[in-house]
Structure 1
Amino acid sequence: MTGEEKFARDLFRDGTSFSKSVADLAQLPDDDVPEIAFAGRSNVGKSSLLNALTTKHGMARTSNTPGRTQLLNLFPVGEPPRMRLVDMPGYGYARAPKQVVNAWKRLVFDYLRGRRNLQRVMLLIDARRGVKAVDEEIMDLLDEAAVTWQAVLTKGDKLKNTGPVAEGVAQAIIKRPAAFPGVAVTSSEKNIGVDELRVTILDAARS
């Protein structure tokens, strides 16, 4: 572990806490704290990755039920906060009532388009499934809103070799104007790529 990785680990471990959940942009803090958001299909592993990043396995609530996260969940890092992690509602879950799905979409889209604090979106993609049409819809939205985003593969331990899928995702995003170069490969269960991702997030918040 490098010195920067150790600094980031200690900061995330000792300085991260749950602040609140919001259902509307008006409920978000009125400050200049940079925000790093986590987006992805329902059940892609956003909460598990947040728990791994902070080494607090009960901080973000995980569930095997897709669509459980229905609000923007805020996690300030540091005191005073150096940044704020934002766990966004998962997308692409069709079983929820239509009015609930529409409310999720409005919340997500309003946040992505209108939040000046937002520095980068970590777009989580299940390594076993690759980029799906619903992921491409979010990529289109992020590109249109000129929000810098980065592809992060989750559940990398479920594959013997993540190289081909990582390369496939890299090729899928190479011409997208708002995409940050490179694809991060992670596993919350095996702690793969977590140290490196903390540093990436910290750098993004500083930019």
Structure 2
Amino acid sequence: MFSKDGISTHQNDENAQFIEAGRLLFSREAKFFFGAQRLNQLEPSLLPEVAFAGRSNVGKSSLINALTGQKMLARASSEPGRTQQLNFFNIGGCLVFVDMPGYGYAKASQSVKKDWQKMMFSFLRGRPTLLRVMLLLDARIELKESDRQIMNLLDRAAVTFQIVMTKCDGLSSVQFSQKEQEIKDLIAKHTAAYPYIRFTSSQKNIGIQELRADLAQLI
């Protein structure tokens, strides 16, 4: 059977189940439990992991806080590009969020940028519990070369990544359509890209329950 909008009632029921699963997952306690500045500090994970990557100031901390319903769980550095460690958050004993250092900070030295890429590549390739990378892109600005570089790195590491657009509340309908098509064209060129895009706004709570559902479905 189909509803008036042409979507099958089975699909509607399935979507509702994932939305509810996402709500239940993130009603559990979420807490920071570990930070690592070097890979040799890491211990094997006992839970599935999802990593969050993005340029400095893209809104990673805000998105993690919105997903978990906690305003101060993840804290952004007061100086962009300064945080250079992997931060781990336990989500109700079911899932681990890995907050990766922001990349693309213009004032960072070339040696710092190379060290970041080396560490991230080693982490991505050597983490069997890592299910997916959520790659955050700012919907208000054009794609940067550093974004393209990280997508190529994820392709090489053979790690599935899903693009999550942030700060979407200020887009007009025309801008939204243009950005959506641009990103669809982009992910078609990357072997590791997950085919579905999420548009979010942490400030307006746009797309948060849908992203929660994605994560619940993933685990």
Provide TM-score, normalisation by structure 1: 0.90
Residue 61 of structure 1 aligns with an amino acid whose one-letter code is R
What SS class does the counterpart of residue 122 from structure 1 fall into? strand
| Offset of residue 113 of structure 1 | 2.1
Equivalent in the alignment of 1:145:
157
Equivalent in the alignment of 2:6:
none
Residue 8 of structure 1 aligns with an amino acid whose one-letter code is G
Distance 1:98 1:143, change over 3 A: closer
Distance 1:24 1:64, change over 3 A: closer
| Offset of residue 97 of structure 1 | 4.3
Equivalent in the alignment of 1:167:
181
Asked if 2 retains the 8 angstrom alpha-carbon contact of 1:67 and 1:96, the reply is yes
| Offset of residue 67 of structure 1 | 1.4
Residue 156 of structure 1 aligns with an amino acid whose one-letter code is C
What SS class does the counterpart of residue 140 from structure 1 fall into? helix
Matched, 1:112 2:124: yes
| Offset of residue 99 of structure 1 | 4.4
Candidates 67, 79, 88, aligned match of 1:74: 88
Candidates 168, 173, 176, aligned match of 1:156: 168
Asked if 2 retains the 8 angstrom alpha-carbon contact of 1:51 and 1:57, the reply is yes
> Quick one: percent identity of the two aligned structures?
47
Matched, 1:50 2:64: yes
Q: How does 1:1-207 map to 2 (within 5 A)?
A: 2-63=16-77, 65-78=79-92, 81-161=93-173, 162-204=176-218, 206=219
For structure 2, the 5+ residue unaligned runs are 1-14
What SS class does the counterpart of residue 195 from structure 1 fall into? helix
Superimposed CA distance per residue, residues 46-102 of structure 1 (whole angstroms, 9 cap, x where no aligned partner): 000000000101000025632143210001112xx2111000001001313454444
For structure 1, the 5+ residue unaligned runs are none
| More displaced stretch, 56-65 vs 195-204 | 56-65
How many pairs were matched up?
203
Provide TM-score, normalisation by structure 2: 0.85
| Offset of residue 32 of structure 1 | 3.6
Distance 1:167 1:64, change over 3 A: farther
| More displaced stretch, 96-105 vs 32-41 | 96-105
Q: Tell me, in whole angstroms, the C-alpha distance in 2 between the residues paired with 1:57 and 1:102.
A: 32
Q: Tell me, in whole angstroms, the C-alpha distance in 1 between the residues paired with 2:45 and 2:81.
A: 29
Distance 1:57 1:68, change over 3 A: farther
Q: Tell me, in whole angstroms, the C-alpha distance in 2 between the residues paired with 1:191 and 1:175.
A: 30
| More displaced stretch, 181-190 vs 11-20 | 11-20
| More displaced stretch, 163-172 vs 35-44 | 163-172
| Offset of residue 11 of structure 1 | 2.2
Distance 1:84 1:137, change over 3 A: same
- Aligned-residue CA RMSD (Å): 1.9
Asked if 2 retains the 8 angstrom alpha-carbon contact of 1:22 and 1:73, the reply is yes
Asked if 2 retains the 8 angstrom alpha-carbon contact of 1:9 and 1:54, the reply is no
